[in-house]
Structure 1
Amino acid sequence: MTEIRDRVRAAGKDENVAGGLRVAGVSKSYGAVPVLRGVDLDVEEGSLTAVLGRSGCGKTTLLRLIAGFDRPDAGTIHLAGRPVAGPGLVLAPEERRIGYVTQEGNLFPHLTVAANIAFGLPRRARRARHRVSALLEMVGLDGGYARRYPHELSGGQQQRVALARALAPEPGIVLLDEPFAALDVELRESTRRAVVDVLAAAGATTVLVTHDQAEALSLASRVAVMRDGAVVQVASPAELYRNPVDRAVAAFVGDVVALPATLRGGIAECALGGLPIAGDGGAGDGPVTVLVRPEQIALDGDDGDVPAQVLEIEYYGHDAVVRLGLGGAVTVRARCPGYALPAVGSHVRLVVRGEVGVDRS
């Protein structure tokens, strides 16, 4: 892949150096409706950051402001250290060196694949067939696709061509707006991994907007969670999952068991016993809500000392979710391997593995 990337660059006329992104205090309203509220976001050069959130949280608006399709009401945006939006400054989209890939790909239906890819290049470079061939190879398509039209391609192939078109002028940053949402599950899996591999090989600084938690956690080096027009947490996928900033974030990025607890000396005492708290969440004693992932709860652990009864099993093949009663009205859910399941009605002992998160709100 590195050799292909080098050939792509050698075939171009200009050598552009990718840079990072800084969004500081950006706000945006449409009429009386606030959409973004003081958004801060840093994306390191050559990295992929996912902006994750539910529909309507403002993530696509943020992408449009970065691209220059809209202007912020307040705040600044820097690309590769250069200001592109701020008080008294709005750089046009074509001057920002942005590659933009949408959910539909938006290929020109009357142009061939080759013409689509070359569309954003300078006029002289559009005739360089070896550059188009190198870009096709980079996205995993052979040169025979150059003469095809978009309607002759599958959805995954169209997205690869859209990516090749976005990478053709060697942009400083690539913006992906839900680029895999329209694909079926099997095609989505293979296409998004191929796209991310291409971006990594190209050394592209990338922002991926998505509402798909698994997509964000599996593809990005950092994830920014948006809620109600604000970024509420930015962290690595592992840190976000293991130590969410609050219960709402915990529930958004995965299943969570939330229990009332009392925190003393970094240990949360709850119905599942005394549990160690992740990160700096253990600072300060008092009442909290402890956040446990179902896969952390092991049944019949060697050191299990919390008795429970199996109430219900939801079987998924590779794993299962077991609902357990701890006595009274307290129930929890544990995720277990599908090959080793207890019987409904049986009694087990529980142990929680690893550190857990807390919510103090």
Structure 2
Amino acid sequence: MSALLQVDGIECRYDQLVITQDISFALNQGDICCLLGPSGCGKTTLLRTIAGFDQVYAGQIKLNGELISSPSMMLQPEQRQVGMVFQDYALFPHLSIADNIGFGLRKLSDSDKKKRVHEMLELVNMQELAERYPHELSGGQQQRVALARALAPRPQLILLDEPFSNLDFELRKHLGLEVRRILKALNISAVLVTHDQTEAFAMADYVGVLNQGRLQQWDTPFNLYHEPRNRFVANFVGQGYFVPGVLKEHHKVETEVGLFEGNRAYPWPEGTEVDVLLRPDDIIENPQGHIKATVEQHTFAGSATLYRLRLPSGQIVESMFNSHAEYSIGEQVCIEMKADHLILFKKDESCASLAR
């Protein structure tokens, strides 16, 4: 089965400034993907290129097997069967909610248009608000209207440009799951742009991590967290710190916090200096533990507290403790390591690939 969206070797430029380079990925029908990365990494430019707002300098984009962008041609946005949901919603203030949703349905008869608008209102659970105007709605309601309007023409693909960034955390989380449910119910593929990895992991089947215009890794959220391809992905996805160590065997490494024996083997010779990625769930509180760390900072998060700890060498790590455990800044706490899934990088390689 061929991919619905195929992006091959895309390079985007503004004048002579290179924004993205050699980006390739594919998206199947019904899949939701997220372009994740820091500000300025090129993710919005890439989304605009897929939408047809920006020309590609090199490479090509195909939608359902049809070429829609290359250096020599660019199918106009309205001809692409692609829906777009913008960060600022872009609703028409002088039109009712029903008229906003039906705006792009000019080719339908009046009866079919009315039926489609009613279907979209039901889909986003806003039947009772059809005659209201955008300024009478909350931010979350406006976002649902924007989604319904983008879905109404039944596009092959939906593009979402940081659609929840103007909403508070709880609403963002709820609406993200609701949007995923709607897209999955309709079997519509989507590309979401965000800098929020929690949002990306909750919504996406696949995540593409970008940095400085290059795609660092395209993978499932699980693999990005547990199998980061390089140091940037390891640092950007999830919380974690690197602790220096020395490889003892292909699956063992000695560090200041003890000997780790993992479930994977690395091809480097014994004695190789490495950095071990330790995430908060790799470090646990243990009153009988042999390692004493000093509390530098703590952040209460309800059921757990995130502690920033300084090891005897001065190395910083983080750990999630049960919220019933209370330690003050400057206090010492006994810990132990429970990392059996080793993620190692060579000391002298800034972007080393993981062993496979």
TM-score (norm 2): 0.89
Q: What are the superposed Cα offsets for residues 12-50 of structure 1, whole Å, 9 maximum, x if unpaired? A: xxxxxx962111100011122110111112112101101
1:267–1:114 Cα change, 3 Å = same
Q: Give 1:99 shift.
A: 0.6
Counterpart of 2:49? 65
Match for residue 161 of structure 1 among 145, 152, 155: 145
The amino acid that maps onto 1:121 is L
Structure 2 distance, partners of 1:267, 1:296, is 16
Q: Give 1:193 shift.
A: 1.6
Contact 2:304/2:322 (8 A) holds in 1: yes
SS at match of 2:48: helix
Q: Which runs of 5+ in 1 are unaligned?
A: 1-17
Equivalent pairs counted in the alignment come to 340
Moved more, 34-43 or 256-265: 256-265
Structure 2 distance, partners of 1:308, 1:352, is 15
TM-score (norm 1): 0.87
Contact 1:53/1:227 (8 A) holds in 2: yes
Counterpart of 2:119? 134
Counterpart of 2:325? 340
Matched, 1:297 2:297: no
Question: How many percent identity over aligned positions?
Answer: 39
Counterpart of 1:145? 129
SS at match of 1:147: coil
1:112–1:126 Cα change, 3 Å = farther
Counterpart of 2:353? none
Q: What are the superposed Cα offsets for residues 187-230 of structure 1, whole Å, 9 maximum, x if unpaired? A: 22222221111111111100000011111112111110000011
Structure 1 distance, partners of 2:120, 2:332, is 59
Alignment of 1:78-89 (within 5 A): 78-89=62-73
Q: Give 1:122 shift.
A: 3.6
Counterpart of 1:195? 179
1:328–1:158 Cα change, 3 Å = closer
* Structure 1 stretches of at least 4 aligned residues deviating more than 4 Å after TM superposition: 276-280, 341-344
Contact 1:319/1:336 (8 A) holds in 2: yes
Alignment of 1:95-106 (within 5 A): 95-106=79-90
Structure 2 distance, partners of 1:244, 1:224, is 12
Matched, 1:359 2:330: no
1:186–1:328 Cα change, 3 Å = closer
1:22–1:326 Cα change, 3 Å = same
Which has the larger share of helix?
Answer: 1
Q: Give 1:324 shift.
A: 3.7
1:320–1:88 Cα change, 3 Å = same
C-alpha RMSD over aligned residues: 2.2
Match for residue 117 of structure 1 among 71, 91, 101: 101
Contact 1:247/1:291 (8 A) holds in 2: no
The amino acid that maps onto 1:265 is H
Counterpart of 1:11? none
Counterpart of 1:175? 159
Contact 1:19/1:172 (8 A) holds in 2: no
The amino acid that maps onto 1:132 is V
Counterpart of 1:318? 303
Counterpart of 2:352? none
1:113–1:297 Cα change, 3 Å = same
1:19–1:127 Cα change, 3 Å = farther
Contact 1:246/1:358 (8 A) holds in 2: no
Q: Which runs of 5+ in 2 are unaligned?
A: 350-356
Contact 1:75/1:86 (8 A) holds in 2: yes
Structure 2 distance, partners of 1:145, 1:64, is 31
Q: Give 1:301 shift.
A: 8.1
1:135–1:246 Cα change, 3 Å = same
Counterpart of 2:292? 308
Q: What are the superposed Cα offsets for residues 153-182 of structure 1, whole Å, 9 maximum, x if unpaired? A: 111111111111111111110000000001
